[in-house]
Amino acid sequence: MVKTTKHARQQRRERAAQAARRRAWRRWTPILGALVLVAAVALLGATRLLGDEDDAARAMALYQFQTQDFHSLAFDPSDADTIFFGHHGGLMISQDGGVSWQESTLQDVDAMQLALPAGGQRRYAAGHDVFYVSADGGATWRSQPTNLPGLDLHVFAGSQSDPDRLYTIPLGFGLYTSADGGASWQEATLPPLSETQPMPIAVAPDEPETILLARSGEIATSRDAGMTWEREPGPSGIITALSVATGDLKTLYAGTTEGVFRRTGDGWEALPIETDGAAVAIAASLSEPGRIAILDQQGNVYRSDDGGASWAGR
């Protein structure tokens, strides 16, 4: 009898607990449903936002390359409508300001970085185990022997006013400069705390010995071909591309992980452009001041004719 009574009381307690759980679940079900709905809307909104950003980038782009990679961009020094694009498979050219593109004579060669001096027909292309030179404006190319300690040239730039002055950082080594078109190279110095890894480099258009190196959070400038350096703050984010628009260094353009920026005085300002990923290359025209072109991580090309205030449409 005692066992039966205890068993009955235990069953009543279990039924009461189950009933309480059902009442609690009925109270929480609408709240949980609302939370799930909010999460779904938030996820959908984020997806649409990302899609909207991609769509905005595509809408602003003049062209999108379909190559496997995207690396370099450079204006012809005497023609602002002629732009060169380099990738691991060679060099492409546009003669209408970036709207349409054709293959060039340099094919099956890694044109990761380019240098196009003014006042002559010299052209340079550098990349993975590549250093090519053209003496006829890009009609023909030849491999140039060097005394560099390595030929994996991710970082490479040349002066527009001196066709013989070049700079490079072979992967795993320091900064080297050449005053004879790349036939011989001399070691210079990197800014303090620099690592021998790929970093954006630019040369002042009118000053062959003035170079800039971009690092995370700052830009280092040398006016003696890389012997001594001055350091200054850069725009926000990790700098992925750098271009000098004027010889006095007043106007700089930089692409970072947080956008595209311009410096015209003491500070940096964000430009009104939405790229699809960070800018991997920025080019400034020597013959038409204010014209710049940008290449982003997804192969989109953008062009501005007023220093980045507005952007050309398709």
| 208 confidence band (pLDDT: 50, 70, 90) | very high
pLDDT tens digits, 152-184: 999 999 999 999 999 999 998 999 999 999 999
33-42, 109-118, 251-260: least confidently modelled range: 33-42
- Please give the pLDDT value at position 119: 84
172's CB contacts (< 8 A; 6+ apart) are 150, 152, 196
Residue spans per domain, the chain: 1-60, 66-304
Q: What value, to the nearest 5°, has the Cα angle with vertex 135 and ends 132 and 139?
A: 85
Spell out the CATH class of 66-304: mainly beta
Banded pLDDT at 196 (limits 50, 70, 90):
low
* pLDDT recorded at residue 187: 96
Instruction: For 33-66, write each residue's pLDDT tens digit.
Output: 333 322 332 333 333 334 454 555 555 899 999 9
